Amino acid sequence: MAGKKLKIIPLGGLGEIGKNMMALEYSDDIIVIDAGLMFPEADMLGVDLVIPDISYLVERSQMVRGILITHGHEDHTGALPYVLAQMKVPVYATKLTQGLISLKLKEHHLRDKVKLEVVQPGQAFNLGKFKVEFFRVCHSIPDAAGLIIQTPLGIVVHSGDFKLDFTPTDARPTEFSRLAQLGAGGVLLLLSDSTYVELPGYTPSEKVVGQNLERIMAEAPGRVIITTFASLVSRIQQVIDAAYKYNRQVFVIGRRMTEIVRMALELGYLSAPPGVLSRLEQMRHLPLNRIVLLTTGSQGEPTSALVRIANRDHPQVRIQSGDTIVISASPIPGNEGLINRTIDNLFRQGANVLYDKLAQVHVHGHGSQEELKLLISLVRPKFFVPVHGEYRHLSLHARLAQTLGIPKENAFVLEDGDILALDRERGHIVAKLPVGNVYVDGLGVGDIGHVVLRDRRMIAQDGIVLAVITVDKRTGQLVGLPDIVSRGFVDPTDAQALFERGRDLVAKALGHGDGHSAQTDFISKKVKQTLFQFFYNQTKRRPMILPVIVEV
């Protein structure tokens, strides 16, 4: 056994926000923590989703004992359908998380092919040489968990996504005492959530939001229309409770919100007194100040119910004077524009809109600096690896750990693909895997590469110009004048004169009529050069030039 090391291999989520995935490897056993997706950034044109590169695992699939999912958010579960299509391996999660994963696998017709195990927090189980136990943490979804993993070299604690919250809606706070116990006995490694390391102090409790929602339900003169993340079941519970308290009925609209409310009621994660949840058809019988609409659309998603309402495009709901809209969510970076446009449109129709800048109608789900410090202080690990964050978050978190006594050489700022090898005494980055992004676009997984994206970006910038050159196949001579067509370059109605001059220039460049024969490559290059230069001089734009040579 001497000399065997524990390897920590982040495959996603370190150096970026999203697509969280990590492997722990010891001897011939691998366990995987999370399998998330990331939504594409602005320059990933046309890409639907981004998932981690799992080549390392696929090559070693015989060694992979299981995938542990800490909670049901997309950035921790969204890559599962793609991973499970490539590897047959059991998935372990708490009950609600398992329910959400089931919905997802059904959509991908994979539900029957996967072994999906429900785990009770506090019950340990073996996966190869690892012994795994889930522990409860608070986060912006119920049934979130951290992990306690016993390895032959010592205990590894993974925080999951967490905050402390002494007064959560489901009355199940983060399990400190278990962590303190572990800390006393000695922990080899702590992997901890870095998302909100920039924020000083403590993240406020969910209770604050509950109180504000109650006040809104009490005081709103008319309907309350409220949107939140569909998976934020505790917030939905708060809406139901506040509505009940002030004698309002709740109507759920939007496909995903309806689906999740139904499942959470079935699994016991939501409870509603009889008569509070009603069908939309009943709404017209009620006075306006007895109505709450709970809807999708907290991120300004163009096809969501709230956005359709804001655009006067919803079949059943129109904004009325006296409506109060509550956006009980914060924007996921990149969605600010969509959300702002939705808020603007709601204001335009005379609604009163409450959102994060105006009222505390949301708290986020990650711990701030003092909570991160508390976790490190309780667990007292020998080694520390910040997870979940862009590079600055990881750096700042590693520094925070140093202020709490973790030696600098024991706090590792890793990025995706770095392989950290630990023994009981020290750790080293021993290799760097080439783990890029895998893009999902339509049915294609991983076939969108550098070239395709570069072409999309180039054309998106200044359009494309096609030059169709007909040449005599025997003589290589130009037949007639070239044909020029463009898309996204200049206004087609204005372009005629420009393109006529372009045609003449190409013909001249190719020596139209002088009897020379020429090779396809030469023609192609010549056409590109001529037109690129001409169009750039005329317009200061750089369209993609695509010569098409037809031999007849």
Q: Which is nearer to a second copy, 2 or 42 (CB)?
A: 42
Q: Which is nearer to a second copy, 347 or 532 (CB)?
A: 347
Decide if residue 552 touches a second copy (CB under 8 A): yes
d(CA 549, CA 502): 16
Is residue 71 within 8 A of residue 145, CB to CB? The reply is: yes
Is residue 542 within 8 A of residue 461, CB to CB? The reply is: yes
Q: Which of residues 67-106 bind a second copy (CB under 8 A)?
A: none
Decide if residue 314 touches a second copy (CB under 8 A): no
Radius of gyration over alpha carbons of the chain, in Å? 29
The separation between the first and the last C-alpha atoms of the chain, rounded to the nearest angstrom, is 73
Among 87, 110, 199, 263, binds a second copy (CB under 8 A): 199
Query: What does DSSP assign to residue 204?
Result: P
312 Ramachandran zone, left/alpha/beta (phi>0; psi -120 to 50): left
Decide if residue 171 touches a second copy (CB under 8 A): no
| Choices 81-89, 149-157, 247-255, 391-399 (CB under 8 A): range interacting with a second copy | 391-399
Among 357, 425, 434, 514, binds a second copy (CB under 8 A): 357
Is residue 187 within 8 A of residue 381, CB to CB? The reply is: yes
Tokens 């007909």 found at: 470
> Catalytic: 108?
no
Among 126, 321, 377, 461, binds a second copy (CB under 8 A): 461
| Choices 144-152, 230-238, 360-368, 455-463 (CB under 8 A): range interacting with a second copy | 455-463
> Catalytic: 366?
yes
Decide if residue 479 touches a second copy (CB under 8 A): yes
d(CA 177, CA 141): 21
Q: Which is nearer to a second copy, 291 or 544 (CB)?
A: 544
# residues contacting a second copy (CB under 8 A): 66
Decide if residue 337 touches a second copy (CB under 8 A): yes
| Choices 131-139, 158-166, 427-435, 480-488 (CB under 8 A): range interacting with a second copy | 480-488
Q: 495 has which bridge partners?
A: none
Among 348, 424, 428, 516, binds a second copy (CB under 8 A): 348
**Residue among 71, 366, 393, 397 flagged as catalytic:** 366
Alpha carbon 539 to chain centroid distance? 39
Q: Which is nearer to a second copy, 100 or 440 (CB)?
A: 440
Decide if residue 457 touches a second copy (CB under 8 A): yes
Among 106, 392, 501, 508, binds a second copy (CB under 8 A): 392
Among 2, 171, 451, 497, binds a second copy (CB under 8 A): 451
Token code pair at residue 428: 């080293």
Is residue 197 within 8 A of residue 393, CB to CB? The reply is: yes
Q: Which is nearer to a second copy, 404 or 459 (CB)?
A: 459
Decide if residue 544 touches a second copy (CB under 8 A): yes
* DSSP letter string, 418-443: EEEEE-SS-EEEEEE----EEEEETT
Among 453, 481, 505, 509, binds a second copy (CB under 8 A): 453
Is residue 392 within 8 A of residue 385, CB to CB? The reply is: no
Decide if residue 395 touches a second copy (CB under 8 A): yes
Q: Which residue, 381, 299, 393, is CA-closest to 343?
A: 299
Secondary structure of 43-112 as H, E, C letters:
CCCCCCEEEECCHHHHHCHHHEEEEECCCCCHHHHCCHHHHHCCCCCCEEECHHHHHHHHHHHHHCCCHH
Decide if residue 41 touches a second copy (CB under 8 A): yes
Tokens 């399998």 found at: 35
Give contact residues for a second copy (rule: CB under 8 A). Answer: 15, 41-42, 45-46, 198-199, 333-334, 336-337, 340, 343-345, 347-348, 353, 357-358, 390-392, 395-396, 441-444, 447-449, 451-453, 455-457, 459-464, 466, 468, 470, 479, 483, 485, 487-492, 494, 538-541, 544, 546, 548, 550, 552
Which are the catalytic amino acids?
193, 366
